[in-house]
Amino acid sequence: MKTVITYGTFDMFHIGHLKLIQRLKKLGDKLIIAVSTDEFNELKGKKTIIPFDQRAEIVENIKGVDLVIPEKSWEQKIEDIKKYNVDIFAIGDDWKGKFDFLKDYCEVIYLPRTESISTTEIKQYIATSKHLKKD
């Protein structure tokens, strides 16, 4: 049985998130998603719209996701790989090369992002959309 793990914020869940999860599930038999906590996102300089508990609940209810765990720090990845007997660490290719150090513990795969969609772009669109602003 092959176990796959990924990490992410999964704020404002969109089709790019869904496509990523579908691709991840095809890599193995068990899929673990580590959802970044609000506190960890603050440390990364990220502001989330949806609170952690809601983001985790959304992700754990997506078909193909077998387990959701909290991501609390950068350092936990090696511990998680060992704890859950992970065979594949996979993440979007915007992180290409950043997690190569995990190759000592499992296979590392960088997957292409879904084109024309990102949470950052959605947030920017909302922030700058005149039709959404109150007069």
Residue of 2, 44, 82, 103 with catalytic role: 44
Residue 8: closest CA among 33, 45, 27: 33
25 catalytic residue (yes or no)? no
44 catalytic residue (yes or no)? yes
- How many angstroms separate the CA atoms of 73 and 44, rounded? 10
Whether 67 and 43 have beta carbons less than 8 Å apart is answered as no
| Burial readout 42-73 (b: 16 or more C-beta within 10 A, e: otherwise) | eeeeeebebebeebbebbeebeebeebbbbee
Residue of 19, 25, 30, 46 with catalytic role: 46
Residue 11 identity: D
Residue 60 identity: E
The helix or strand, by DSSP H or E, that contains position 94, with its residue range, turns out to be none
Q: Which residues are catalytic?
A: 44, 46
